[in-house]
Amino acid sequence: MLYLSRKMYFSALHSYRIDEWSEEENKKVFGPCSNKNGHGHDYTLEVMVKGELERKSGIVVNITNIDRVVKSFIQKQLDGKFLNKENPYFVDNIPTTEKIVSYLWDSLDGKIDNCTLHKIRLYENDFLYSEKETTPMVRLTRKYHFCTAHRLHSEHLSNEENLALFGKCNNPYGHGHNYYLEVTVSGVPDPVTGMIANIAEIDKIVDEEISQRFDHKHLNLDTEEFKDLNPTSENVAVVIWDLLSPKLTNLFKIGLYETEKNYFEYYGSEVEESYGK
């Protein structure tokens, strides 16, 4: 089986509001997104398909076939539109990112010849995307930034071993990074609000649990969590999972960019145990 992905772009307006609710209720649940006149985004859509390699041609599916199906659908239904008013599906369904992904999945699944739809990912901007595969679950990923110093040093190793293993990262004063943190939650969009989680609530939890704790700090010296724990990005990802998972019940994944070149993912201990089985 081979997987291939095609990226496309469109822009659209949307508004998160329920007409039967008062202005106050809409504001409370949807925040600034509840503006009835709408606001807009430049969306980036990634469509991933899978299929068998055809020996004669050396391809799975002609990418122009994907373009023909997906681009014409986007142009007809989404691009340049006020979704709540101009797309019949979103007259009754709030066009949240996770709901647009479900709509795209249902509309495109089975429509591209010679391949199977595998994954749809939709970026609302660089800091928010939603994705869906075959299960009814939809995932929503929010990206955050914090800068932090750390020193890689394990108490279980000698000074010489630490220096040999971590090199300049073992510098006694430490060094720093621009970390980018991805917090992914998973769920089925709520039939009323179209959301799997309230982004404003996730933002608040991440701010309280992560940013206030770690941003502009020295992990080894300023935090309880890493007083006796080597602050490798592996450990940072696990600690962040442990801090967030009691507050975010549908937490699915922690993704951590230590630098642009180093990226770490953690799915929690239960998933890891079942992987091992």
**Among 133, 169, 182, 225, which one carries the catalytic annotation?**
169
Q: How far apart are CA 66 and CA 14, in angstroms?
A: 26
Active site residue 115: no
CA 59 vs CA 67, 69, 164, 199, 254: distances in Å = 15, 18, 47, 40, 34
Q: Which is nearer to Zn ion, 6 or 263 (CB)?
A: 263
Q: Which residue has the tokens 């869906």?
A: 132
Distance between terminal CA atoms of the chain? 24
**Among 216, 234, 265, 272, which one carries the catalytic annotation?**
216
CB of 94: closest distance to Zn ion in angstroms?
11
Q: Which is nearer to Zn ion, 117 or 256 (CB)?
A: 256
Q: Three-state SS across 158-176?
A: CHHHHHHHHHHHHCCCCEE
Active site residue 169: yes
Q: Of all residues in this chain, which one has the CB nearest to Zn ion in the complex?
A: 169
Active site residue 147: no
Residues between 165 and 224 that touch Zn ion (CB under 5 A) = 169
Q: How far apart are CA 27 and CA 29, in angstroms?
A: 6
**Among 98, 124, 131, 258, which one carries the catalytic annotation?**
258
Q: Which is nearer to Zn ion, 66 or 77 (CB)?
A: 77
Q: Which is nearer to Zn ion, 113 or 265 (CB)?
A: 265
CB of 124: closest distance to Zn ion in angstroms?
6
Residue count at the site for Zn ion (CB under 5 A)? 1
CB of 61: closest distance to Zn ion in angstroms?
32
* Span near Zn ion by CB under 5 A; candidates 5-13, 83-91, 110-118, 163-171: 163-171
Task: List contacts with Zn ion (CB under 5 A).
Answer: 169
Catalytic residues: 169, 216, 258
